[in-house]
Amino acid sequence: MKRNQQLLLPAWYYLASLLVLGFVFFPATRDFFALTGRRWLYILILAFTFSGLTTPICRLLARHWGLVDNPSGHKIHAEPTPLLGGAAVFLGFVLPLLINGIFSREFGAILIASIVLFVVGVLDDSLNLKAHVKLIVQIVLAVGLTFVGVRIVLFPETALLGSFANRLLSVIWIVGITNALNFFDGMDGLAAGVSAIIAFFLAVVAMQMDSPFVGWAAVAMLGACLGFLPYNFRPGKEALIFLGDAGSTTIGFVLASLAIYSDWADFNPVVSIFSPILIFWILIFDMAHITLFRVIRGKTRTFREWIEYVGHDHLHHRMARVLGGATQSVLFIYLLAICLGLSALLLRYSTHFTGFLLLCQAFIIVVLVSILEAKNGKEYQ
């Protein structure tokens, strides 16, 4: 049967998802999860099933509207692949939180900003917008979030300079992570899988710090990414649908915003500074690595060239060469992200010095990986 005519996943998967979804919608079921302290599991189930069931619909819509990613010189897939998978992930993230009445002014701001960013992403997927246009939109949205409490609080805000510094760092963080995840969306299952891992560790650390809202939101993103993953990561086969720029940028934007949510770290400077860095370290390192080497090698000489450059020099491309394939590269990066995320969990009980050592350990790990891959052949161009 031709690829565009086949049933995306086995019939039992959809039947089981519908049965589970119908069961959890009973008020008694929701009350049971809430009263037993397992609301996180209820949200996870809803997010997973919503995302899993809406992905085929988004795939059909993408085909109907012509939102497909065609093969080209710098892309590794061989067939036109529908985009719009990010819509399923976004619905899987938002709907469980709204159904459970989990809402705040900050969440409302993140939601509105994410919707705007998603629309811009869809336009980019269909019209190929200029990189600087997307960057300006991201900066404006990030600045807006800082005025509703979604920001890093590293310096005392009693002084104007401290407030400005906090907002500036917050904008750099949000915009940087948003684009880092978008750049990382270069292999099947990579961006969605890494996002799921990041969301998991954000949820665990948030629960450690008694910040249930951030924990529930992160769990919703975890479930949404996991529900989408079977369509996007199929070892030995090509993906049935991609996140698209709309999906990867929106997911990155949401995760970056949750990481600096004003009260998620319980005012512990060690956790508030180092935990997000460790959890997002793979993305941070990849962004820093490609920036440094592109400048050193003269591939990019201006900021505009940097934001518009497309190449095969990312971590996942280099590891695919070393390990012998894209699937091996993706799985290796999953394990690396888990390893670094586990370090973030230790910070709950760490001193400032221990936190610094864990950050050094994370840096050494990725440097060792880079040295090993560099010794096994020429880097992707």
- Report the C-alpha gap between 221 and 274 in whole angstroms: 22
- Report the C-alpha gap between 90 and 119 in whole angstroms: 12
Which amino acid, 49? Answer: T
What pLDDT is attached to residue 95? Answer: 93
What pLDDT is attached to residue 75? Answer: 57
What pLDDT is attached to residue 372? Answer: 76
What pLDDT is attached to residue 155? Answer: 82
Cα 377 to its chain centre, rounded Å, is 30
- Report the C-alpha gap between 87 and 93 in whole angstroms: 10
The encoded tokens of residue 29 equal 């079921």
What pLDDT is attached to residue 2? Answer: 44
What pLDDT is attached to residue 264? Answer: 52
CA atoms within 13 A on the CB side of 75: 14
Q: Strand 81-82 to strand 68-69: parallel, antiparallel, or no bridges (unpaired)?
A: antiparallel
Block means of pLDDT (10 residues each) for the chain, 381 residues, are 57 89 86 88 95 94 88 64 93 92 87 94 88 93 93 82 91 95 90 97 87 90 96 91 93 94 59 82 87 76 68 78 88 93 82 79 82 61 46
What pLDDT is attached to residue 381? Answer: 46
Helices assigned H by DSSP within the chain = 11-24, 27-35, 39-65, 85-99, 105-127, 131-146, 160-184, 190-208, 212-232, 244-259, 269-279, 281-296, 303-308, 315-323, 326-346, 352-374
Residue located via tokens 């460790």: 278
Coil vs helix vs strand at 90: helix
